[in-house]
Amino acid sequence: MNKSYTLDEQQPAQPIATARVVPGAGVLKATHYRFGILALITIVLALSTGDRAALSVAGGDMAKELGISSIELGYLFSAFSWAYVIFLIPSGWLADHIGSKKAMMVAVVVWSTFTVCMGLVHFIGLVVPLLLALRFLLGAAESPVGPAAGRVIAAWFPSSERGTAGAIFNSAQYLSLAVFTPFMGWLCHRFGWEYVFIIMGLLGMVIGGIWWRYYYLPIHHPKMNAAELEYIRAGEGLVDLEQRPSAKQAGEQKRHQLADIGRLFKSRMMVGIFLGQYCINAITWFYMSWFPIYLVKERGFDILQAGFVAAIPALCGLVGGVSSGFVSDAILKRTGNLSIARKTPITIGLLLSASIMLCNVVSNEMLVIALMSLAFFGKGFGSLGWAVVADTAPKELIGTTGGVFNAIGNLSGIITPVVIGYLLQSSGSFASALIFVGAHGLIAVLSYWMIVGKIQRLELARIG
């Protein structure tokens, strides 16, 4: 019998092993290859986070050598998010059209190429315009990571495990900063800023090859047995992802998309959630852009020290990000109140994130790092936005809601780095910038309590 394969994956080298009852041995035990796939997408996200953060490590020395001002550096940080936001929806279409395997592979290879090119700009004139173009292209190339990874989790994990899988995947951003920031700091100190981009880009080529070699859809995996496949399928895992809308259905979906987005903004609850995510991401972008430069310019660390010191808050953010889901679920189990379960960690975490402003009144470097670590732990602990979207999005618009949520959150990556650049240029210090960043945590808390209201599933009938 002929078997068709999607564009998404390669045909397996051998058939999937079938579960069978072996005399005297019982039922064949399910394999656990889904966790290897989770490790793959986590590594890819960590790489993408490291590459977008490379400028934060190399930026200080680069700016000094190439004569780049603080305002220009702010726009360089911002250029990534311009493209990332613009291409989020097209990249989702790309992942659906060619499959997550090809979409992720193309993305990794292309953005790694642009990363290498950033290390070579000093050989060409018009440095700032060229860097702006490369940062923009980097953002465009990285935009398929989220949509493709979402497809992977939907395909490989039953609903009972998607929360944990999503939390581990999202923690890659903190793990990346903890691992890659010291590594990039060492490269910058030992070899020069250009090697930060060149080595990270070459590393991406290697990871792209690993992805292409080892990723399959569940139904195409050459080693996973039928017991694991049926476990995923029984838990509503989309093990084949072969069902695609017809051309007519796709056209109708596209026509209704803008109207659906408008309906979301009629909901006060959803507007409050979107605002909260914008504020949370603003804190993230400080750490991903200006934080190493703050340590060098404001606190007197050299770039090698800054790279290792910056890893400490990132590790704290990792702990906060992973633990918040468990705490929220425990509160929900105890109280049965979804609003309390979600808002409590969000409130505690984002109030802690505002402690970054206290760095303006202390001079001891160790105390500064402690406050930064507390703030980033709080940011991670309060980052339950994706869980809240899963709780509240209309059943008919879960994908659209997630796209809008992600796009608005990433608008802060456009605005925050530029505002900090202007504040730094005008004042000569990071004092006002830290107040600006810390205030976002307070605004997010107010948004959840004064705008969002009760957290519950939104019904389309309520918003017309």
Residue 146 included in any domain: yes
Residue 245 included in any domain: no
pLDDT at residue 171, rounded to an integer: 75
Give buried/exposed letters for 27-52 (b at 16+ CB in 10 A, else e).
Answer: ebebbebbeebbebbbbbbbbbbbbb
Q: How far apart are CA 269 and CA 393, in angstroms?
A: 10
- Mean of pLDDT over the chain: 80
Identify the three-state secondary structure at position 21: strand
pLDDT at residue 28, rounded to an integer: 62
pLDDT at residue 365, rounded to an integer: 86
Identify the three-state secondary structure at position 235: coil
Q: Which amino acid is at 10?
A: Q
pLDDT at residue 164, rounded to an integer: 66
Tens digits of residue pLDDT in 413-423:
889 988 998 99
303 and 404 belong to one structural domain: yes
2: pLDDT confidence band, cut at 50, 70 and 90?
Answer: very low
Residue 349 in tokens: 């975490």
pLDDT at residue 10, rounded to an integer: 41
Residue 373 included in any domain: yes
449: pLDDT confidence band, cut at 50, 70 and 90?
Answer: very high
Q: What percent of the chain has pLDDT over 90?
A: 23
pLDDT at residue 419, rounded to an integer: 92
233 and 266 belong to one structural domain: no
Tens digits of residue pLDDT in 85-127:
888 767 766 776 777 788 888 889 999 999 999 888 877 767 8
Residue 351 included in any domain: yes
pTM of the model: 0.72
Domain boundary among 212, 239, 266: 239
Pure H helices in 123-241:
127-142, 145-156, 159-170, 172-190, 193-214, 226-234
326 and 186 belong to one structural domain: no
173 and 289 belong to one structural domain: no
pLDDT at residue 12, rounded to an integer: 39
112 and 66 belong to one structural domain: yes
Q: Has residue 343 got a pLDDT over 90?
A: yes
Q: How far apart are CA 13 and CA 216, in angstroms?
A: 11
| Count of the separate structural domains present in the chain | 2
36 and 98 belong to one structural domain: yes
Q: Has residue 411 got a pLDDT over 80?
A: yes
Range of the domain at 66: 24-239
Residue 80 included in any domain: yes
Q: Which amino acid is at 405?
A: F
Tens digits of residue pLDDT in 192-224:
888 999 999 999 999 999 988 888 877 777 777
Domain boundary among 216, 239, 262: 239
All residues at 6 or more sequence positions from 428 whose CB lies less than 8 Å from its CB, including other chains = none
Strand partners, 225: 17
pLDDT at residue 346, rounded to an integer: 93
Q: Has residue 407 got a pLDDT over 90?
A: no
**Worst-scoring range by mean pLDDT, 37-51, 240-254, 281-295, 324-338?**
240-254
Q: Dihedrals φ, ψ of 115, to 5°?
A: -65, -45
Tens digits of residue pLDDT in 69-89:
888 888 888 888 888 888 876
Q: How far apart are CA 438 and CA 435, in angstroms?
A: 5
**Worst-scoring range by mean pLDDT, 1-10, 94-103, 341-350?**
1-10
Tens digits of residue pLDDT in 352-399:
999 999 999 988 888 999 999 999 999 989 888 877 877 787 876 666
207 and 259 belong to one structural domain: no
Domain boundary among 178, 209, 239: 239
Tens digits of residue pLDDT in 260-280:
677 888 899 999 999 999 999
258 and 219 belong to one structural domain: no
Q: Has residue 40 got a pLDDT over 60?
A: yes
Angle made by CA atoms 201, 203, 207, in degrees to the nearest 5: 115
384 and 333 belong to one structural domain: yes
222 and 271 belong to one structural domain: no
CATH of the domain at 44: 1.20.1250.20
pLDDT at residue 410, rounded to an integer: 85
Residue 10 included in any domain: no
301 and 412 belong to one structural domain: yes
- Provide the angle, in degrees to the nearest 10, between the axes of the packed helices 338-353 and 385-392: 150
Burial class (CB in 10 A: 0-12, 13-18, 19+), 394: buried
pLDDT at residue 353, rounded to an integer: 94
Tens digits of residue pLDDT in 422-446:
998 888 888 999 999 999 999 999 9
Residue 247 included in any domain: no
Q: What percent of the chain has pLDDT over 70?
A: 82
Residue 18 included in any domain: no
314: pLDDT confidence band, cut at 50, 70 and 90?
Answer: confident
443 and 298 belong to one structural domain: yes
Q: Has residue 42 got a pLDDT over 80?
A: yes
pLDDT at residue 358, rounded to an integer: 94
